[in-house]
Structure 1
Amino acid sequence: MTTSRPIQLRRSPLGRAYVDQLAQHVSTGQPAAAARESATLALAYQDRFLDGPAFLGDAEYRSVVRDLRTVYDLLRSLPQRIFDGSLSALAEAVGMDPLQTALITRSARTGSLVPLGRADLYHDGTGFGLLEFNITSALGGFENADINRAMLTYPPLREFVARHQLRYRDTLGCMVQTMYAECAAAVPPDRPPVVAVVDTVENFAIVGPRLRVFAAKLADYGAEGIACDLSQLTYPQGRPTVGGRTIDIVYRYFLAEDLTDPAAAAQLEPLLTAVEQEKVGLFSRLDAELYGNKGALAILSDDRHRSRFDAEELACVDRLLPWTRYVRPRGTDPGGNEVDLLTYALAHQTELIMKPTLLHGGSGIVVGWEVDPAEWRARLTAAVGGPFVLQHRIRPAAEPFPDGVGGSRDLFLNWGVYLGDHEVIGDDGYAGCFVRGSTDPTVGVVSMGGGAKVGCAFHGG
């Protein structure tokens, strides 16, 4: 069973070596200056950049990617291992409503689903712990490599990266490779494909400017990109078009949670029909989010299913996944003992966080150590039997970072590690990384909305 691991401060030898180098050699300039001056990065993150990158040693990055590949494969196997092959049963178990379930199971009958995801992790000083595994095409992070390149304009970092033989992955390039692999039948043989980056009407009103940047960047990877919302798609002869341009591939930026809206579901209907008739490619398939659902992690963590996995798989789950359970009247504690789950959660409030299974970006999360006992009890009681999970707290270890004025400070990181298919993108399936850093060691959710700053990562060495 997974239990809390002790904190070991200053996890990163490379991070400490970089801070020490800066302290020994006075340098002019600001590490994040180029990132702050980039219009593309400013649109995404304003000027909220860390004053240096994070580092993953060679063995460390290979180990976490190997574990993530195992967890991805286990999540994909849940319908067969736990639900007698039924996608509908898995969808119901993770909290999807009948409309979402119907759309997702329908989409699963078309094309292929090539691995692509972003794992959100904390490192507690002894190893990584998995908070969430977002499996979909709408992952963000398409500017990751831009942050790396901007940081490398700072001479001390450029010298450090070269001396330690560090490198980075182009996350957007990996995404596009995955799109081409998943939608191979829709890629024209004689011209660049036209790719529509599509979100719902409501979402596009907010994220449209960033999606236009995303669409424009596709030209660097051999595609013509157009950003639009679902309502802008029309279907002459059954093929989707935007502004008179016929679309070859729809890059999906809307999520399963958006499909509870009947209007969005109705706008999706002709697109799904076109996909079924092989008139357009859809990236990614809607059922991807079945496996990236927080409820799927609770199923994987549940003691009742341990007999379905072999010793190596269980070792990976125990190593990477903290105790995660649906909010139900009964369950097992981290020691495997059956308990009244509400009583357990009340007694261990400061070690637990409650999350809705169907929302993203920190929405709806209740952090046990940040609320009073009365609110914790009320929120737990309301969640019993619903689409919510409890997860054991991971305390992130401190990471040494430059402070931008010649010294250093400790930050606490949320690692966003991207995973693809190693046969498609190479490099063990590692598709890049970005980090969000907070100065608060008790932070419940390290997020931009919570005041965190963003940075890139280099790996190898």
Structure 2
Amino acid sequence: MTRFPTDHELVEQYHRQDALRHVVDEIDRHPSLSNWTGSYLPRPLFVDHREIVDFGTDVLRLFELITSLPQRLFDGDLQRYTSTLGIDEQRAKLITSLGGIKPPCYGRADMYHDGTSFKLLEIGIASEVGGADRAGEIPKALMENEAFAKFAADHGLGYTHTGREVAETLREAGRHLSDSPVVALLEGPGGLAGYAAHWNTFRDVMRGFGLDFHVAEVGDVRERDGKLYLGDTGIDVVLRCFTVEEIIGDADGFALVEPVLKAHREGGTVLFTPFESNLFANKGALGLLSDTRHRDRFTADELAVVDRVLPWTRSLKGAASLDDELVTYARDNREELILKPNGYYGGVGVVAGWDTDADTWWKTLKDGVEDGCVIQKRVIPRSEPVRDPQTGAVEPWQAAWGLFYTPRGYAGAYARAVPAFESPVIGVTAYKNTRTAGVFHYGEV
């Protein structure tokens, strides 16, 4: 029987090879990644193939559970569901603009590895999630280095190219309209001023897999006879990268998005991940899943998935008062908890109890009861030893893994990492010293 190395053994063997010391520097110069301005971890991360694929399977099962919450817990009443999550009337109207349809199974799940298993932090059910441009291209670029390619071959390393999986998913989404569907990634109004380089990198990856792919803003398209057009080019699939907040925040936002919604309703263009995805990407949905008061609505197998994957998570929105038992527990267990606003992502508004004094934490909890937040048990990510290419010193880092999923299943991964315990939130937009890492799996047979 073939014996595959462990994560720890792979890292030790990687660090012993001086030929790999500066290999990640070449990623900065790789043509497919040249538009991205971030920085990279000096080595990739390694994970057992079966472990991450199995976790991906659990994420897909969790997706099915989350998207069933309105029916299971609220008898299909979306108004009660959105009210429970703290979604106001204006946002609820936009989020249910297509009648509350179930979104396609696509997004990025963020998780930590606690040294024993992966634990889910958030399940991003949306098409505006970042990283799909890099998740496959970083390993691809590394494999073009002779020394790394030999190391990978010697140790049975492989990877799943996220770009390939996403391209096939978008192609399938528009296949009923065309054998070669045209896809347009649409940013919010003015969004390309800050994200053009990022989305153009993604465009190049998609074109590399044969998609007729374009990047524009939501105000650049026009609807004619139930179909969207970008100039004279008919659009079969819209990859939505404009957010609810961008539309709400623009004086003409609803008018800008209406042609996209109309074309989807009439069947000439598919809006991939409609606004309804925000019904379930909301962190309050995780609170509903984790809440013991609802366990009788799930089977034993379903509860096993929730318990295996999701840390203890509770919504503060349902607290009756500041004397509520849940609020009291949160106040008294500050160092074990992290607070997250329901509707934001990228670390925005996140407050770690262990990194906050008691008075600030209490104020944060009070605001969380009013605004709608979840509290979650702290998950401490395992140490990821990384050798500094300049000094040779091996230093501990910690990583947040991003697992991509599509209707086809597990669609690859990448990671963001920071020096150990340097930041309570690991993310490119949350902390300036965050590095991005490619992910390789081992043990595939």
TM-score, normalising length: structure 2? 0.90
Map of 2:268 onto structure 1: 279
- The superposition leaves residues 300-337 of structure 1 with CA deviations (integer Å, 9 ceiling, x where unpaired) of 01111011111121122112111111114749xxxxxx
The one of 123, 129, 132 equivalent to 1:133 is 123
1:383 counterpart SS class: helix
Distance 1:150 1:65, change over 3 A: same
The one of 169, 190, 194 equivalent to 2:160 is 169
Distance 1:319 1:153, change over 3 A: same
Write the distance in 2 (CA, Å) between the matches of 1:43 and 1:87.
Answer: 41
1:342 partner letter: V
Q: Indicate yes or no: 2:435 matched with 1:453.
A: yes
Q: Indicate yes or no: 2:398 matched with 1:412.
A: yes
Distance 1:232 1:328, change over 3 A: closer
Q: Indicate yes or no: 2:240 matched with 1:252.
A: yes
TM-superposed CA distance for 1:203, in Å, is 2.5
Write the distance in 2 (CA, Å) between the matches of 1:118 and 1:460.
Answer: 21
1:55 counterpart SS class: strand
Contact 1:137 1:251 in 2 (8 A): yes
1:418 partner letter: F
- The superposition leaves residues 138-157 of structure 1 with CA deviations (integer Å, 9 ceiling, x where unpaired) of 22222211100122234443
Distance 1:124 1:386, change over 3 A: same
Map of 1:210 onto structure 2: 198
TM-superposed CA distance for 1:452, in Å, is 1.1
The one of 123, 126, 140 equivalent to 2:113 is 123
The one of 406, 421, 427 equivalent to 1:441 is 421
TM-superposed CA distance for 1:99, in Å, is 2.9
Write the distance in 1 (CA, Å) between the matches of 2:318 and 2:208.
Answer: 53
Contact 2:383 2:420 in 1 (8 A): no
Q: Indicate yes or no: 2:77 matched with 1:89.
A: no
Contact 1:100 1:259 in 2 (8 A): no
Q: Indicate yes or no: 2:332 matched with 1:315.
A: no
Map of 1:5 onto structure 2: none
Write the distance in 2 (CA, Å) between the matches of 1:366 and 1:39.
Answer: 38
Map of 1:377 onto structure 2: 362
Contact 2:70 2:81 in 1 (8 A): yes
Map of 2:176 onto structure 1: 185
TM-superposed CA distance for 1:357, in Å, is 0.9
Q: Indicate yes or no: 2:148 matched with 1:157.
A: yes
Q: Where does structure 2 lack aligned partners over 5 or more consecutive residues?
A: none
Map of 1:18 onto structure 2: 10
> Equivalent residues in 2 for 1:38-437 (5 A)?
38=30, 40-46=32-38, 48-108=39-99, 113-141=103-131, 142-186=133-177, 188-189=178-179, 192-261=180-249, 262-328=251-317, 330=319, 340-405=325-390, 406-422=392-408, 429-437=409-417
- The superposition leaves residues 196-238 of structure 1 with CA deviations (integer Å, 9 ceiling, x where unpaired) of 1101113232112322332343222332222111111123444
- Farther-moved stretch of structure 1 (302-311 vs 377-386): 377-386
TM-superposed CA distance for 1:42, in Å, is 4.3
1:180 counterpart SS class: helix
TM-superposed CA distance for 1:373, in Å, is 1.6
Write the distance in 2 (CA, Å) between the matches of 1:379 and 1:124.
Answer: 26
Distance 1:235 1:348, change over 3 A: same
2:68 counterpart SS class: helix
The number of residue pairs the alignment matches comes to 433
- The superposition leaves residues 47-101 of structure 1 with CA deviations (integer Å, 9 ceiling, x where unpaired) of x111111111133123312221221111121122111123343333223222332
Distance 1:25 1:359, change over 3 A: closer
Write the distance in 1 (CA, Å) between the matches of 2:77 and 2:252.
Answer: 27
Q: Where does structure 1 lack aligned partners over 5 or more consecutive residues?
A: 1-11, 332-337, 423-428
2:303 partner letter: L
2:253 counterpart SS class: helix
Contact 2:24 2:40 in 1 (8 A): yes
2:277 partner letter: A
Distance 1:13 1:320, change over 3 A: farther
- The superposition leaves residues 379-402 of structure 1 with CA deviations (integer Å, 9 ceiling, x where unpaired) of 211221422111111111112233
TM-score, normalising length: structure 1? 0.87
Distance 1:328 1:344, change over 3 A: farther
Distance 1:202 1:341, change over 3 A: farther
TM-superposed CA distance for 1:133, in Å, is 0.5
Contact 1:322 1:391 in 2 (8 A): yes
Write the distance in 2 (CA, Å) between the matches of 1:23 and 1:55.
Answer: 13
